[in-house]
Amino acid sequence: MTRIYPHTIVAKFGGTSVADFDAMSRSATIVLADKDVRLVVLSASAGVTNLLVELSGGQESSVRQDKIDTLRTLQYNIISHLKQPEAIGQEIDRLLDNISHLAAMSADSRSDALCDELVSHGELMSSLLFVEVLREHEVETQWFDARKVIRTNDTFGCAVPIVSEIAERVEKHLRPRIAQSLVVTQGFIGSDAAGQTTTLGRGGSDYTASLLAEALQAARVDIWTDVAGIYTTDPRIVAQAKRIDTLSFSEASEMATFGAKVLHPATLLPAMRKNIPVFVGSSAQPRAGGTLVCRDTHEPPRYRALAIRRQQTLLKLSSVDGQPAHRFLAQMFGILSRHDVAMDLVTTSEASIALILNSTGSTSGEADTLTTSLLTELSSHCHVEIETGLALVSLIGNALSQAPAMCKEVFARLESHAVRMICHGASSHNLCFLLPAESADSAVKALHRHLLE
């Protein structure tokens, strides 16, 4: 008889939560403590994705072998604690051999498609190992390949999910399995129409969990990480940062977009579409509580949090032929669109555009954003200035555009800082400003002390 689980919970565990055997055992205990958890989504073990990205960059044989040996050690440190390690050891060896083969191919000719194929092995290995940990608790558990249901386009490194196809595939391939047993799958990875492996960008396992929860119409998504919730700012910068018990979707989405690393920026979009609450807690301290992200919160404060996003690039484009502003803007945005440039903050004047390049989500990193072909085409139409070594600080809040004293309260604390760019007005939930990287932490400390403590 098929059992029905009307209150299905999708639980996602990050890299530190599956870093080694002890971490996996703690995570298994969390899963087994709630019978409504029917689907588990895993990241790669901590450090594994970085090693795989490095291998995808093409390296000489001796360096490649050192990194593969490190990967093998990380996996076997977990396997050695299992009661029956032989069968899973053979499967992990097969994946490690495949990694070695793909890394050698990358050394000859690197491609984004090959990079995605290679880095996907981190989640494949961690999910296989976690299934064995759960089975040692005598729990019926199935391993499931997420690529069967997470259908995306072919933008390798930061693929875009096709929601309608995901919904159809989940109904056909995944929901029946969840009715039979606990299911463990991978975050971060998917496949395109040709069956090639794709990835959703760094940190994309959160996004996977939310997409699957949307398709399943789940009751909640639990994100288990290394911190007990979402804080008013990074506690490593401000020791007085406080956990926020309840956040709205809008507030949390702004925080994730502008640098708070607890959630992937796209995570909340599927949850918002189906009004699925998202809980964020620590797998090391599951009883310490956490943050619940939901549609509405009671009496949200004017100032909620501060986020910081480092390694930002400011691109300034200035007209040289005096053409009308609307034509210049259309021409520049057309060029940027053709080159798939990711940007999220823009300011304009009569004859120039300043914009922040945002490539922090792609598996391939920042290096591929300002390509030679892009700069060549831009330079043929305008004067190009590039400024690096910057950080974006964002004040997250509610109805900020209706706060008459906000500018005085914020910028009085920044009088000793060289603000390079300011963005406000497109959203009532944020005020963003660009600063030299070396002064960003002091700005966050001053603003947190005045506005949030």
Along the 453 residues of the chain, how does pLDDT read in single tens digits? 445 566 899 999 999 999 999 999 999 999 999 999 999 999 999 999 999 999 998 778 889 999 999 999 999 999 999 998 988 999 999 999 999 999 999 988 889 999 999 999 999 999 999 999 999 999 999 999 999 999 999 999 999 999 999 999 999 999 999 999 999 999 999 999 999 999 998 889 999 999 999 999 999 999 999 999 999 999 999 999 999 999 999 999 999 989 887 888 888 999 999 999 999 999 999 999 999 999 988 889 999 999 999 999 999 999 998 788 889 999 999 999 998 887 888 998 888 999 998 755 555 554 467 889 999 999 999 999 999 999 999 999 999 988 888 889 999 999 899 999 999 978 889 999 999 999 999 999 999 999 999
What is the domain count for the chain? 2
Q: Is 236 annotated as a binding residue?
A: yes
pLDDT score at 336: 92
Do 219 and 308 lie in one domain? The reply is: no
Q: 324-340 pLDDT, tens per residue? A: 888 999 999 999 999 88
SS3 of the chain: helix, strand, coil, percent, to 5: 40, 25, 35
pLDDT score at 401: 86
Q: Is 376 annotated as a binding residue?
A: no
Q: Which residues contact 214 (CB under 8 A, 6 or more apart)?
A: 163, 167, 270, 271, 273, 274, 276
CATH no. for residue 392? 3.30.2130.10
pLDDT score at 314: 94
- Judge whether 207 lies within some domain: yes
Query: What are the DSSP E strand ranges found in 196-342?
Result: 197-199, 220-225, 230-231, 243-244, 246-248, 278-282, 290-294, 303-319
Do 218 and 322 lie in one domain? The reply is: no
- Judge whether 182 lies within some domain: yes
Q: Is 141 annotated as a binding residue?
A: no
Q: Is 261 annotated as a binding residue?
A: yes
CA–CA gap between residue 447 and residue 114 (Å, rounded): 44
- Residue 309's domain comprises 304-452
- The partner residues of 246 in beta bridges, in order of sequence, read 292
Q: What phi-psi label fits residue 395: left (phi over 0), alpha (psi between -120 and 50 degrees) or beta? A: beta
Secondary element (H or E) of residue 11: strand 9-13
Do 198 and 320 lie in one domain? The reply is: no
Please state, rounded to an integer, the average pLDDT across all residues of the chain.
92
Of all residues in the chain, the percent with pLDDT exceeding 70 is: 96
- Judge whether 80 lies within some domain: yes
- Judge whether 291 lies within some domain: no
Compute how many other C-beta atoms are within 10 angstroms of the C-beta atom of residue 256.
22
pLDDT score at 5: 61
Q: 352-374 pLDDT, tens per residue? A: 999 998 755 555 554 467 889 99
Q: What is the 3-state secondary structure (H, E, C) of 69-101?
A: HHHHHHHHHHHCCCCCHHHHHHHHHHHHHHHHH
pLDDT score at 369: 74
Helix, strand, or coil (residue 319)? strand
- Judge whether 370 lies within some domain: yes
Among the three residues 207, 225, 243, which one is the final residue of a domain in this structure? Answer: 225
Do 211 and 108 lie in one domain? The reply is: yes
pLDDT score at 323: 84
Do 128 and 39 lie in one domain? The reply is: yes
Among the three residues 197, 225, 253, which one is the final residue of a domain in this structure? Answer: 225
CATH no. for residue 166? 3.40.1160.10
Are β-strands 182-186 and 430-436 bridged in parallel, bridged antiparallel, or unpaired? unpaired
Secondary element (H or E) of residue 352: strand 352-357
pLDDT score at 2: 47
Q: Is 148 annotated as a binding residue?
A: no
Q: Does this model's pTM top 0.85?
A: yes
Do 215 and 310 lie in one domain? The reply is: no
What is the CA 445 to chain-centroid distance, rounded? 25
- Judge whether 231 lies within some domain: no
Q: Is 281 annotated as a binding residue?
A: no
Q: 140-177 pLDDT, tens per residue? A: 999 999 999 999 999 999 999 999 999 999 999 999 99
Do 182 and 324 lie in one domain? The reply is: no
Q: Is 156 annotated as a binding residue?
A: no
pLDDT score at 364: 53
Among the three residues 163, 190, 225, which one is the final residue of a domain in this structure? Answer: 225
Q: Is 14 annotated as a binding residue?
A: yes
Q: Is 13 annotated as a binding residue?
A: yes
Q: Are 48 and 56 in contact (CB under 8 A)?
A: no
- Judge whether 407 lies within some domain: yes
pLDDT score at 1: 40
pLDDT score at 120: 97
- Judge whether 163 lies within some domain: yes
Q: Are 121 and 161 in contact (CB under 8 A)?
A: no
Q: Is 372 annotated as a binding residue?
A: no
Which parts of 348-436 fold into alpha helices (H)? Answer: 372-379, 406-411
Do 50 and 151 lie in one domain? The reply is: yes
Do 210 and 335 lie in one domain? The reply is: no
> Which residue do the tokens 């949030």 mark?
452
Using alpha carbons, select from 142, 163, 144 the residue that is nearest to residue 152. 163
